[in-house]
């Protein structure tokens, strides 16, 4: 992204202390989801945990990635590449998980990385257009091209087409909610920018319980962007960086080892 585009597209940076809490919650809810899905016996009847607590993880990860991509990094594409590397490491153990379908699917890190790259690229595109560096025709061509890529990639990644939309829509909503002034018109306009995100979040799951937890997580992230981030205290124990980077591939490796030892992969 050019310095001029960045200056046009990024508002003043808000406090990010809430993401320290978000990291612990995201890893905990993701692990609960995967344990109930792949490890714990069906006779324990814990499917409700995956359909409730487990539905917090993905929108929370998406919200944190969008937040950092929008407010905290000078190079969102480099950030996306780091997420992609984690996804590459995790892909093999991820593929060993028991699934209802044999279709090849890329894990959620690919969804997050591609969503961030798309959101950052669109932000840069529109910032350059506002600065007069791009004509409307070029912007239209760029948007059309990215929509075609989104349509193709949506069949290959976890959470599909709706999952790929989540980070760009988070970035759009967070930007306007944070940048909105005190005027009623600005506030209403910012709320309108959040509606597409909530619609997509509501369409992401099949059960009403899962939809409720996904939408509630998105609403909480939007509330933080609208100003509640100032209320979040610092997390008492900061997550070690190595744990944050290694947990996703590492816990899949441990689950795969457990399944192999118990005969679940045979």
Q: Phi then psi for 74, rounded to 5 degrees?
A: -80, -15
**Nearest-angstrom CA–CA distance, 61 and 24:** 11
**Nearest-angstrom CA–CA distance, 150 and 170:** 16
Q: Are 169 and 197 in contact (CB under 8 A)?
A: yes
Q: Which residue has the tokens 């070029």?
A: 138
The predicted-structure confidence for 206-221, as pLDDT tens digits, reads as follows 899 999 999 999 999 9
The predicted structure's pLDDT at residue 266: 59
Q: What is the mean pLDDT of residues 58-79?
A: 96
The predicted-structure confidence for 114-171, as pLDDT tens digits, reads as follows 999 999 999 988 888 777 777 788 888 888 988 999 999 999 999 999 999 999 999 9
pTM for the predicted model, two decimal places = 0.92
Looking at the predicted structure, is the pLDDT value of residue 9 above 70? no
């Amino acid at each position: 992204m050019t310095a001029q585009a960045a200056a046009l597209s990024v508002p003043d940076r808000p406090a990010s202390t809430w993401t320290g809490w978000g990291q612990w919650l995201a890893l905990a809810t993701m692990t609960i989801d995967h344990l109930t899905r792949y490890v714990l016996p069906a006779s324990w009847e814990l499917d409700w945990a995956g359909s409730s607590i487990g539905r917090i993880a993905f929108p929370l990860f998406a919200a944190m990635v969008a937040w950092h991509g929008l407010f905290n990094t000078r190079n969102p594409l480099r950030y996306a590449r780091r997420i992609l590397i984690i996804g590459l490491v995790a892909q093999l153990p991820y593929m060993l998980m028991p699934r209802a379908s044999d279709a090849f699917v890329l894990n959620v890190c690919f969804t997050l990385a591609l969503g961030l790259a798309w959101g950052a690229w669109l932000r840069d595109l529109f910032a350059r257009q506002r600065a007069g560096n791009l004509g409307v025709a070029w912007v239209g061509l760029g948007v059309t091209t990215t929509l075609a890529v989104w349509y193709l990639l949506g069949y290959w990644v976890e959470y599909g087409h709706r999952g790929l939309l989540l980070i760009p829509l988070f970035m759009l909503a967070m930007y306007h909610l944070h940048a909105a002034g005190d005027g009623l018109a600005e506030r209403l306009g910012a709320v309108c920018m959040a509606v597409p995100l909530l619609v997509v979040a509501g369409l992401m799951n099949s059960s009403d319980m899962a939809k409720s937890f996904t939408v509630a997580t998105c609403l909480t992230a939007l509330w933080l962007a609208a100003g509640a981030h100032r209320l979040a205290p610092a997390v008492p124990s900061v997550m070690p960086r190595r744990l944050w980077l290694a947990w996703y591939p590492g816990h899949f490796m441990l689950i795969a080892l457990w399944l192999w030892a118990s005969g679940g992969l045979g």
